[in-house]
Amino acid sequence: MKQITVTTLATMKRKGEKIAVLTCYDASFTTVLEEAGVEVLLVGDSLGMVIQGQDSTLPVTVDEMVYHASCVARVRQQALLMVDMPFLSYATVDLAVATATRLIQQGGAQMVKLEGGAQQLETVRILSQNGVAVCAHLGLQPQSVHKLGGYHVQGRDDKQASRMLREARELQSAGAQLLVLECVPAILAAEITCSLEIPVIGIGAGGECDGQVLVLHDILGLTSGHVPKFVKNFMQQGGAIQDAVGAYVSAVKGGSFPAAEHCFI
């Protein structure tokens, strides 16, 4: 099977081919997602909420991320395996290197993802210089939920938007090979996507991004409580789990997801 790599994703961006990303936390779903054509499997710290029942991602540990990543890595065949660096596990450059080392060597990660803009430039640079594939994350940053005062759309005012665009470019220059934009106005996300050479993956960031990511449990209608605006339940049309995942991939590839009702202005 042809392996999906960062080079593959960069080529897809240049060709205008949409990238389908989903969270994945175990071996069984890894097979389902790969068979449906998902290019990137994200072992997200969202597991704290959808697997562990926590009220945020903050309690998730490096040990837990290594465990779930290794479950996915054992059966992964071709999709790129990206793993979140959990809260405060990259507070310093040395700590970030240690965390990335564990996620790669013990968890099987092929790319690590970290949240933050300007404050993470040196970390991204050092990781990249040492052979680590890095995905940056701007917009709503769940690990900063207490600092942000909740889960709010980011980049709506001109100052925030300008800073986000600048930081996206700086992260790319520092060596980031992928960027996630979360809860960002669609017009700003489109501008950032066009300004970067690296692929941009959106979640609540409009349809002009190079790809989309959602939490697996959300597309299967397993979300309890408040359902975010950017979520679509692909199980509503009936069928099996495999059908829902396939429908998500097809919708991302065909451009029908996200629709206007899933986007922010």
For the annotated catalytic residues, the residue numbers are: 182
- The full DSSP string for 99-155 is HHHHHHHTT--SEEEEE-SGGGHHHHHHHHHTT--EEEEEES-GGGHHHHTSS----
Q: Using CA atoms, how far apart are residues 210 and 135, in angstroms rounded to an integer? A: 14
Q: How many other β-carbons are positioned within 10 Å of the β-carbon of residue 256?
A: 12
CA-based torsion, 188, 136, 3, 213: positive or negative = negative
- The full DSSP string for 191-208 is HHHHH-SS-EEEESS-TT
**Residue given tokens 């942000």 in the structure block:** 148
**Residue given tokens 């392996």 in the structure block:** 3
In order of 56, 180, 258, the CA distances from 230 in angstroms are 18, 14, 7
Q: Using CA atoms, how far apart are residues 29 and 42, in angstroms rounded to an integer? A: 12
Calculate ∠ Cα 254-257-262, nearest 5°: 165
Q: Using CA atoms, how far apart are residues 25 and 45, in angstroms rounded to an integer? A: 10
